[in-house]
Structure 1
Amino acid sequence: MADKKNPKENELDQLFDPNNSGDSFSKIIGKARRRSIIRNILISISVLFFLIILVGFSWLSMMRWSETNAIRDIELFNRITNPNVEESGSQQQGNSFFEGILRFNRYKEVEGIPVDWSEEVMTYSLFGGVSGFAGSHSPVQLQEEGEDQVNVYDRETKQRMMSFYHPKVAYDQLANGVKELENYPEDTAAEVALSFDQTYSPSEIEDAMPEAINVKWYWTDTYSAADIDRKNEGIEEQNGSGAPELATQIYGFDASMETEGFIDTIETGLRIENGKYIGEYERIHDNLTEEDSPLKEENVEVIGAVVTGSVEDLQPLEDSTMIRASILGVTANPYQ
């Protein structure tokens, strides 16, 4: 019995058979061409599918990398900004193929009571950029009737925002937020921004505070001599009218961090190449010490603080000689 031939051998026999017609030859060529086209299509689809998966994984990896770096930059910077503001975690949200959104839920803690605070919303890009949303982010400012002082409120929660007075700036008026406390029930929990008459160490401030008061945050002097001159010149040009520093404009550290934690944050920020806030870390470092010198504890001078307590506990601060000015922050009813 003759061996069975496979289809390809049969096609070759037909192709070179002298008795084969031209039509059969054309059919064989057409069939081979179709097979070649189908094979090429399948190869192309496989390659395309592989490339899509590769690009997808690369895109996901780059977005994760950008997100991680953005969270690192923001959380590190928040360690020396936003007095008495705590974070309860971040949420990620896609905005486009090249951009994502980070939302940081925030609150303030006043004598064990959490008080809502505005979200921090930032965007990060596929290529590593971090920025806030465009548009107005100004807080609400209201002037009390018959008073020159302007009260500032958080844009979202409408809670009072703190402000601070630098000891070397000649303001025409100084606020007395502690005195405002007499308008509240004695058991109201409150946050107060204290501006001192000079620089003090954290230990000196702790010793000077009544025992029932909690020191939450220290405001550090990160201003250069030129900064102070500009502020004083600006006040003179405005006929003595000068606004204090908003809580969103100052630097300092949580009382639990201590001075070493503040220094460590600055040094860590300086080591992050292309970090979002590298310019601010460099400016703070250069203002506190010489350009190439390492930061030391004696370079960090405290000129203000944030304290919390009940109205009854805070009112004695009005008689303190070290307090140049004070501004009331958030308040909370302990029974709500």
Structure 2
Amino acid sequence: MNMKSDDERLRELFEIKEKPNFNKTIQKAKIFSIIRTTIVSLMVFIIASFVVFSLNATILNEISNKEQNNLEAWYNIAMPNAFLGCVQVDDRIMVGELDYTRYRYLGNKPIIDGSYKDGYSYMYLINGIYGDLENYLFDRSGKSEKDLNEAQAYNKAGKKVMKFYDPSVNYENYTNDLKKLDEIEGNKLMEISLSFDKAYDFEEVKNMIPSNITLNWYWVDTFTENSEDSLNKFIFDEYDVHGIKALDGEGKSLENPEKDFINVITRCKNNKDYSSEYQKLFDILSNGKSEINKEDLKIIGVVVSGDRNSLKALKDKNYIKAATIGAVADKY
């Protein structure tokens, strides 16, 4: 019988008892390492996500503020009788959206002019995907360019888009909706664009409009003598023209409305975040000077509003070349 020595017995004892403990320790170490790696990775992911989302929110917030400022500036020099209403900002990942309402004044009554969207992004390739920049309810059609030019357009709220006729152009046909006033119910309010026979000084126009009619907006002549649009006898609609709001956002008459118009153009022409449109307007209106003066503003039309009876006072005024009805709503 083979007898084991004490050393052999001792070695077997340690091999049996120590080996499992050593493997268990290694297993525990591996599990701990995996848990630690997972926790560290999760913490890195959370921190990185927080940084990315914070940076995304900061950038989009800055862009949305610029977009809103740009909209407000544009509504101050264009958009006849249209005001920027409440704005809702919706920022997502890399893209955002401004949802806003538009409204108008018919006399002293504000009416909703539709809901609109303007998209923005700091990624060029996806910029504008969520935007909604079109103003029209549907695309106009016609058998010829003349038919298309004279076709009636509607905005997204179903309002007729007003037309404007450049007094330096001899058009084949002129619209005169003042002749249609008797067809409209007496309990209605409406806006009408008036295109003048020539350019008038700012102060002259104030005295040309009867006091019982609301003067909403002045159309400023921003065309050059070699205007391609004029040569083509282009009839402008309310999204093509620039001018001065005579009312503030609460429907109150402004004392010196031309100042806001001049200030916006002067301020925005040097702002890289805005369109070169402001620089172009400044160059035309300043006539080569370093500033735009009130005397530089030549008025070639207006937008007015009121009821049927008050607007009848405009009939047969020799300074009115064309007139088109826009929004119509109940008085009460």
**TM bucket normalised to smaller:** 0.7 to 0.9
Of 94, 105, 110, 1:109 maps to: 105
Deviations 1:92-122 (A, max 9, x none): 335x522222222112221233333232321
Aligned-partner residue type, residue 89 of structure 1: C
CA, structure 1 residues 151+210, in 2 after alignment: closer, same or farther (shift >3 Å)?
farther
Aligned to 2:114: 118
Taking every aligned residue pair, what percent have the same amino acid on both sides? 24
CA-based RMSD: 3.0
- Structure 1 residue 186: Cα displacement: 4.0
Deviations 1:257-283 (A, max 9, x none): 6111101111222232232xx221122
Correspondence 1:253 to 2:249: no
**In 1, Cα distance between the equivalents of 2:179 and 2:139?**
22
Once the two structures are superposed, the pairs formed by residues 65-84 of structure 1 within 5 Å of their partners are 65-84=62-81
> Does the aligned pair in 2 maintain the 1:142–1:152 contact within 8 Å?
no
CA, structure 1 residues 139+281, in 2 after alignment: closer, same or farther (shift >3 Å)?
farther
- Structure 1 residue 182: Cα displacement: 2.2
CA, structure 1 residues 282+314, in 2 after alignment: closer, same or farther (shift >3 Å)?
same
> Does the aligned pair in 1 maintain the 2:270–2:279 contact within 8 Å?
no
> Does the aligned pair in 2 maintain the 1:84–1:108 contact within 8 Å?
yes
Once the two structures are superposed, the pairs formed by residues 289-328 of structure 1 within 5 Å of their partners are 289-290=286-287, 293-328=290-325
Kindly tell me the number of residue pairs found equivalent between the two proteins.
Answer: 303
- Structure 1 residue 51: Cα displacement: 1.4
Aligned-partner residue type, residue 264 of structure 2: T
TM-score normalised to structure 1 length: 0.79
Aligned-partner residue type, residue 321 of structure 1: N
**In 1, Cα distance between the equivalents of 2:302 and 2:128?**
30
> Does the aligned pair in 2 maintain the 1:79–1:253 contact within 8 Å?
yes
**In 2, Cα distance between the equivalents of 1:38 and 1:223?**
72
> Which stretch of the first structure deviates more once superposed, 96-105 or 74-83?
96-105
> Does the aligned pair in 2 maintain the 1:140–1:155 contact within 8 Å?
no
TM-score normalised to structure 2 length: 0.80
- Structure 1 segments unaligned to the other structure (5+ residues): 1-16, 235-241
**In 2, Cα distance between the equivalents of 1:184 and 1:138?**
23
CA, structure 1 residues 27+115, in 2 after alignment: closer, same or farther (shift >3 Å)?
closer
Deviations 1:135-168 (A, max 9, x none): 794656599xxxx894624232322221111111
Secondary structure at the aligned position of 1:158 is classed as coil
**In 2, Cα distance between the equivalents of 1:59 and 1:196?**
50
**In 2, Cα distance between the equivalents of 1:138 and 1:83?**
18
Deviations 1:40-79 (A, max 9, x none): 3322322222112121211111221221111111121111
Aligned-partner residue type, residue 301 of structure 2: G
Aligned to 2:231: 233
> Does the aligned pair in 2 maintain the 1:80–1:252 contact within 8 Å?
yes
Aligned-partner residue type, residue 271 of structure 2: I
